[in-house]
Chain A
């Protein structure tokens, strides 16, 4: 077992994102003191202005890469970090802002900004792993704080984190949730979506929105076919269903493109 004379230094970085994922760390109210005891929170601007210089043992990276400056900065973060863990759909799949990847960004800029010449942006919003090596990806929009604790915990104890990559359906069935698709005819993305949220939406009678991105072997084509033929879901709605927070995750991107008129 690792001896812990020195607490590992933890840094939290932000790129294009809403802050919700790093907020999950502050949301660990009951566990926060234990976390602060186990790691040295060295760089976390959302929590404190105090900064401990790098390098850092663990970096949690939130957000996607959307500007040339981001693309440069993530390389600096990588250099300063021993373990780099991306947190949330922005960092792991490009996030909701990756919807622009399906459109012409120049057009947006000219429409939205009065002085478009000041806007410097990349054509696509991309996940961190497209730019630097990532040691672990934690999915979710937002991430599940218990899963975040599990990743930190596993790191501290030198073990593999228990973060399954199978479908949401296993969580539903273990919990005893009724299948909303079979019993109510509600379109649900659970069968193609990675577990981790605790099957939150189906537990409240709603279909899954795929916040945790594609499971490890998603058959999106079969699910989409069933939605169309049995649940009468129109093609436009199919495109929208796969274009959520994880729109640019490859299986979802391909499926939405297949249904675009």
Chain B
């Protein structure tokens, strides 16, 4: 029992406090009912009139304006996209035309170039042939000349050699004849 004493005290204290909070219901006091109704009707009516005549149309206007403007902008955007698509098509056409023209020009100049190259080639070949002929003739001349000079050199050398060996001067014409004989036989071997 002693243990419960604090609890009982607490409950009693709690109860008095609860009753203190509840001091009747002023809502049921009819003293100001008419006043409250009167002011409610007055203020509500004023609020209703100002809202329905002034604020609600304004908000509605704002909303309608926004919707209209968004729609207009969307339409304008659509028009612009269409325009852009058209421009893109034109551009593509122009590009493909230009490409065709470029191919044509390249083809033509290629043909012209081939022609020129062939012409030059022919001319060059002709000139080359001429030069070759000339060179061959020269070589032939050189061959002949060289055989003659070889003969004369051989004559001189053999004359000197014979002179040194024998101390006698031999007849020029006999040496010449023998050298010509030898060279006729052997010249083809060396030249």
A, B co-complexed: no
- The residues of A with any CB-CB pair to B shorter than 8 Å are none
B residues apposed to A, CB below 8 Å = none
